[in-house]
Chains A and B, each alone.
Chain A
Amino acid sequence: MLRGFALVAAVAFLCRHFLSEEEDVILQPGKSTVMSWIRERELSFIERLTANILKAGPMPKHVAFIMDGNRRFAQKAHVQRQEGHSQGFEKLAETLRLCLNLGIHEVTVYAFSIENFKRSKEEVDGLMELARQKFSRLLTEHENLERHGVCIRVLGDLTLLPIDLQQLIAKAVVATKAHNKCFLNVCFAYTSRHEIANAVKEMAWGVEQGLIKPSDVSEVLLGECLYSSNSPNPDLLIRTSGEVRLSDFLLWQTSYSCLVFQSVLWPEYSFWNLCEAVLQYQLSYRSLQKAGDLHREGQALQQMEADRCCVAELLQHRGNGKPMDAQSRQKELLNYTASREERVHCFLNALQHKRDTVFSDLSSQAVVA
């Protein structure tokens, strides 16, 4: 009986492999679908087989990459640093395609840290120029980006960048804003601490504007004020080149993510490296789900407790000496929670609007040659 079962399983698996449609973007025949940011890359037979085996298990929906090792690669290959960074970009384009092939529709990458401004002027200028080229090129591929539903977001303190680059970035972000088939978040002029401090600053702004109260500040609200608020937390964080630290990248968002450190240098990253990381994610999946669920339960309890305290305070202020019965107390609590949620909702809309305005203003200033 076991042999029969194994046979059925094998047949089912092979059918799935040969008949499965790629979950990624469907390429229309006859039209140019070349995009500089997402390479054309067919999976080989064995790669497709492996992909399908992996997809039988839980798959990450959002993967973050610390693309480390460009300079060491350049040294190894006896080329200029700038060439290392260039190849790094090519590898990003290829890896995005591989992620789409695996059904991973959201990717966040650490392209440029605020700490990287400490590098030589030559290298920093070179990286800014590379960014200019890539964003400019992106803007010419608008049709393909729309067809494939690619949404580009840039996270960081963009005011630290040259103004022309800010404008190019803004244009790319605004142009792809409505796309929703796959998401690429590029962290540029970014550190996690700056992001967290900025989120706190925005909440303080909300208090200044009278939109929220200090007691509305919570773990959930802080998360919604980060640059990455439109994305779910990464399921998997991969760092290449053998370093085993987070280097100020997504510290808040990856608290419950699977961390995989791989020794391969970024420009040499392969499909197999990606599969290895996904496998690691699958092995940690159950524990991480449990930890995440437990954490979310804790967050909900904390929020309820905070709401109760606020209601108690309010009732005390309002109090006429008469103790309230449990039913009225419960009603007050529900009312308070509803009004807090409404306040927070308005605040988050105002924040989103503020951010959108910055981008649309910059975008309309941009003059693309």
Chain B
Amino acid sequence: MDEEYGGFLSETIVSNGRNNSRLMEGILKQQQELLGMDSSKYSVEFMKNGTDKQEHQVLSCQSVVKVLSPDDGRLSIVQAAQQLCRAVELKEKTSKDINVTVLDSLLRESKNIPDPDLVLKFGPVESTLGFLPWHIRLTEIISMPSHVDVSYDDLFGALQRYAMCDQRLGK
């Protein structure tokens, strides 16, 4: 089943950076416990507003887990903006060169996070709370009551809802 739904799962924590390492530890531990010998097939990457130091080979059947922090949202866009402004200051670029495509490729350069197709939002707060604003322009947002004791049925139900979405892309 994992192979079919191989792709990116990302989680974000709202409060502070300290929780990221604990979540990371938790994920690695769970990986060992649940997957045992297979755990090496699934790479877990700790982002925390860093850059991709190594390109993980993503095979079509491999699941990649990226753990994000609030800094991966607006702050990444700000950093890309600073980079472009520095280039303009050095006369390597002009302001007229800046458009959606340029900004988009710059954002992908430092951190290759593809646009999520689906966001599963856990908890009662009806907000994205700063999650990847640039990337979620067309993302379906499905709310689940809690991340505690999520059953396979809950997850599958969400995926079925996703499958029924009809994206007209403006047309």
Contact = CB atoms under 8 A, between A and B. Distances in A.
Interface of A: 113-119, 191-194, 196-197, 199-205, 207-208, 213-215, 217-219, 222, 243-248, 251-252, 254-261, 280, 283-284, 287-288, 291, 294-295, 298, 302
A258 B129 CA distance: 9
SS of A interface (majority): helix
B141 A222 contact: no
Given A193-B100, A245-B140, A207 B88 contact: yes
A197 B103 contact: yes
Interface stretch (B21-29, B55-63, B73-81, B144-152): B73-81
A294 B15 contact: yes
Contact of A200 (B74, B81, B142): B81
Contacts of A302: 75
A255 B128 contact: yes
Contacts of A287: 124-125, 127
Interface in B55-113: 70, 73-75, 77-78, 80-82, 84-86, 88-89, 93-96, 98-100, 102-104
Given A119-B171, A246-B136, A259-B126, A217 B82 contact: yes
Of the four ranges (under 10, 10 to 19, 20 to 34, 35 or more), the interface on chain B belongs to 35 or more
Given A255-B130, A256-B129, A208 B95 contact: yes
B14 interface: yes
Most chain A beta-carbon contacts within 10 A, residue among B75, B93, B100? B100
A302 B70 CA distance: 13
A103 B169 CA distance: 34
Given A193-B104, A197-B98, A204 B130 contact: no
Contact of B130 (A203, A213, A244, A256): A256
A207 B127 contact: no
B34 interface: no
Nearest to B86: A214
A287 B125 CA distance: 7
A202 B14 CA distance: 30
Contacts of A245: 136, 138-141, 165, 167
B134 interface: yes
A213 B81 CA distance: 12
Nearest to A212: B85
Given A201-B98, A215-B82, A245-B141, A196 B126 contact: no
B137 interface: yes
Contacts of B130: 255-256, 291, 295
B85 A251 contact: no
Contacts of B86: 214
Given A197-B103, A214-B89, A244 B141 contact: yes
Contacts of B103: 193, 196-197, 200
A114 B95 CA distance: 22
A219 B77 CA distance: 8
Contact of A252 (B15, B74, B89, B95): B74
A85 B136 CA distance: 27
